[in-house]
Amino acid sequence: METIPYSKQSVDADDIQSIVDTLGSAFLTQGPMVAKFETAFADYCGSRFAVAVSSGTAALTIANQAAGLIPGRQVLTTPNTFVATANSIELSGGIAKLVDIDSNDFNISITSIKMALDECKEVQGIIPVHFAGVPADMESIARFATDYDLFVIEDACHALGGTWIDSKGVENRIGDCAYSDMTIFSFHPVKQITTGEGGMITTNDPALHQKMLALRSHGISWPADPKLRKAQPWVYEMHDLSCNYRITDIQCALGLSQLRKADAWMKRRSELVARYDAGFENNGFIHPQFHPTSGSVSYHLYSAQAKDRDDLYRYLHEHKILVQVHYIPVHFHPYYQGRGYEVGDFPVCENFYRHAISLPLFPDLSDEQQDLVIALINEFYNGR
């Protein structure tokens, strides 16, 4: 029997040709493909600017630094995410202040944010994660940002291409930054589009855009004075301490080619999501992925809540269905326990984790493969 992963990239002949063409061009990095990819990406999301970087983690780290995170200050985020979200805060000298998730949509809880803000005056920002692709409550988060003077960075690694409808009836595209300062994306192969490794930050703020361009490459920029630039054209200035977070032209060529297919892939993922929901209609042991009632969600995961999750995981792996668990709560990791967190701190997130299972979801998953997964799961619960 063939192995079915939980996620997998799609790479076609056009993608490969775009890489080959760039390999033979004058620039392998810091060339024209980077700006081309950024422009196309900003257009796609509806933001003014986009900055392409080497990973989603680099995108998060640069975003925190561009937002002016002051060492020792706190940034609120969810424990139901990949560790990179919280790590980016700590790597930038801040403190990752975790708050529990909402029991309905499994995103950061608005009530818990309010409690954390009232209890501590050291909070400087919020990083919501659109878990599985389901948008967090950005309107409430933006209101906190105004009332408490906070920056907001959306971690949209799961949500490229999705939309949601606000209380004014306006449809917002994830990444348009209508309710945040910046939005970050990852192009790891399991995500909606890939560049091998890669990431992007979108923003509408010209100052943040300029700052991030410098932070991408060692904090280096060119002198503001045009006379100096003319007299000494070799002079560059390093204002802020940073790393090499650059992405190559080869990767950006692939990203540009992948982006053209993002809408079609999003549609296929939604079809598969609906087929899973239908497949588990008469199965009382598995609760399907949560769905918002408006907007079009771009699903990265089909994240179900399963009875006897550990047994189901083992059973499916024995049948070569490589389901995954998203996520081990951030505060379960030894590093964060060393930062003062304990098991039991976030009961909603922990209960979610104990039942969480991510079923195979990617554009090239065939109906037949999916039917096999559904049949195996229904068979597993038969008689339980």
Ligand X SMILES: *Cc1c(COP(=O)(O)O)cnc(C)c1O
Minimum distance between the CB of residue 155 and ligand X, rounded to whole angstroms? Answer: 5
Burial class (CB in 10 A: 0-12, 13-18, 19+), 155: buried
Minimum distance between the CB of residue 384 and ligand X, rounded to whole angstroms? Answer: 32
CB 329 within 8 A of CB 350: yes
Whichever of 262 and 376 has its CB closer to ligand X, that residue is 262
Kindly state the helix (H) or strand (E) to which residue 87 belongs, with its residue range.
helix 83-91
Alpha-carbon distance of 141 to 130, in angstroms, equals 13
Whichever of 280 and 331 has its CB closer to ligand X, that residue is 331
Alpha-carbon distance of 370 to 4, in angstroms, equals 9
Minimum distance between the CB of residue 251 and ligand X, rounded to whole angstroms? Answer: 12
Give residues in contact with ligand X (CB under 6 A): 55-57, 81-82, 84-85, 129, 155, 157-158, 186, 188, 199
> Which residues, in sequence order, are CB contacts of 11 under 8 Å at separation 6+?
194, 254
Alpha-carbon distance of 239 to 237, in angstroms, equals 6
CB-CB neighbours of 152 under 10 Å: 22
CB 159 within 8 A of CB 216: no
Alpha-carbon distance of 254 to 328, in angstroms, equals 31
Cβ-proximal residue to ligand X, closest one? 56
**DSSP letters of 287-310?**
EPPP--SSS----S-EEEEETTHH
Whichever of 198 and 363 has its CB closer to ligand X, that residue is 198
Residue located via tokens 């204002």: 239
Whichever of 56 and 162 has its CB closer to ligand X, that residue is 56
Minimum distance between the CB of residue 282 and ligand X, rounded to whole angstroms? Answer: 32
Whichever of 57 and 109 has its CB closer to ligand X, that residue is 57
Minimum distance between the CB of residue 101 and ligand X, rounded to whole angstroms? Answer: 13
Name the β-bridge partners of 244. 217
Whichever of 80 and 283 has its CB closer to ligand X, that residue is 80
Alpha-carbon distance of 266 to 71, in angstroms, equals 39
Minimum distance between the CB of residue 141 and ligand X, rounded to whole angstroms? Answer: 16
Whichever of 97 and 380 has its CB closer to ligand X, that residue is 97
Minimum distance between the CB of residue 291 and ligand X, rounded to whole angstroms? Answer: 19
